[in-house]
Amino acid sequence: MNHTLSFESRLVEWSDRHAMLMLLAIGGLWFQVPPELLAAMAAASFLGLIRQFHREWTPARVFGAANAVTLARLAGTFFLLLFPIENGWFLAALALIILNADGVDGWLARRRGLSSAFGECFDNEVDAFFFLCLCVLVYKRADLGSWVLFPGALRYLFVLYIRVAGPPRRVAAGNRLTRVVSVIAFIVFILCLLPVDLYCASAAATATAALCISFLYSLIQLYRPTVPE
């Protein structure tokens, strides 16, 4: 039991450090720092995650096919960020492939009995980084202003808020609202990469507002007072 708690606390500590690094990188993007800095900081942080927990990747202590799929999604995200693709249709298609691969890693982990806290953390953080990179790509291509980076920072602000506010009163539980809003936000920002007029500013602003409401709802659920039985 103590080993499990220690393992989970170390994952939380890594997540906190990662969130701070990503927020620093986002701040740099607001001041026109090249996205290569974001890529370098993220690569170093994810490498640290994989190296630090190499004995706890899965119950079988192997990296496993599910984590390999998550790693491939991360590599694809770095490719989108670092290698400019002028064709917006091709760029959006690659982003859509990465998004659709999100469900494969979890399915593989459950099917092969390799589900783990590491795998869940790795998957969630790659999702967050992928969305951040979509925000960066839209910022660079759609001329929407630096505000479009804010939704990519929400996940990391959420993590650090919990760090400052202290342990939640309730156990975090997934809910349909947050999942639906998240998927819609991914799709909206991918569509904004297309070279067609899709009212991207309005769509991205609406998705950002929905994400803010979703994160606020999650915080309320985590910190609302418990009712004595």
DSSP code for 226: P
pTM reported for the whole predicted model: 0.92
With residue 131 as reference, give the H or E element that holds it.
helix 117-141
Determine contact, residues 126/74, Cβ cutoff 8 Å: yes
The confidence score (pLDDT) of residue 5 equals 55
**What is residue 171's predicted lDDT score, i.e. its pLDDT?**
59
Domains of the chain with bracketed CATH: 2-223 (1.20.120.1760)
Average pLDDT per consecutive 10 residues, the chain (229 residues; last block may be shorter): 66 94 94 92 96 88 90 96 90 95 86 87 95 94 87 95 79 72 95 87 94 90 68
Question: What local confidence, expressed as pLDDT, does residue 113 receive?
Answer: 82
CA 141 – CA 213 distance, rounded (Å): 26
Q: Is residue 129 within 8 Å of 71, Cβ to Cβ?
A: no
Name the residue with tokens 């092969």: 112
DSSP assignment of 66-123: HHHHHHHHHHHHHHHHHS----HHHHHHHHHHHHHTHHHHHHHHHHTT---HHHHHHH
Q: What is the pLDDT of residue 15?
A: 95
Amino acid 199: pLDDT? 87
Looking at residue 176, its pLDDT comes to 78
